[in-house]
A and B are shown apart, each in its own frame.
Chain A
Amino acid sequence: ETGVTQSPTHLIKTRGQQVTLRCSSQSGHNTVSWYQQALGQGPQFIFQYYREEENGRGNFPPRFSGLQFPNYSSELNVNALELDDSALYLCASSLRGRGSWVQYFGPGTRLTVL
Chain B
Amino acid sequence: GQQLNQSPQSMFIQEGEDVSMNCTSSSIFNTWLWYKQDPGEGPVLLIALYKAGELTSNGRLTAQFGITRKDSFLNISASIPSDVGIYFCAGQPWNTGNQFYFGTGTSLTVIP
Contact = CB atoms under 8 A, between A and B. Distances in A.
Interface of A: 2, 4, 6, 31, 33, 35, 40-45, 48, 50, 55-56, 58-59, 90, 96, 99-108, 110
Interface stretch (B37-45, B64-72, B76-84): B37-45
Contact of B1 (A4, A6, A58, A96): A58
Given A48-B98, A48-B99, A59-B1, A100 B50 contact: yes
Contact of B100 (A45, A50, A108): A45
B43 A33 contact: no
Interface residues of B, number: 27
A55 B98 contact: yes
Interface of B: 1, 4, 6, 31, 33, 35, 40-45, 48, 50, 88, 90, 92, 96-105
Query: Which among A2, A43, A100 has the highest number of chain B CB atoms within 10 Å?
Result: A43
Given A48-B99, A101-B98, A2 B44 contact: yes
Contact of A101 (B1, B4, B42, B92): B92
Contacts of B31: 100-102
Given A2-B44, A42-B88, A90-B42, A103 B100 contact: yes
A42 B44 contact: no
Contacts, number: 75
Contact of B88 (A43, A48, A108): A43
Tell me what chain A mostly uses at the interface: helix, strand, loop, or mixed: loop
Contacts of A108: 40-42
A48 B100 CA distance: 10
A106 B42 contact: yes
Nearest to A1: B44
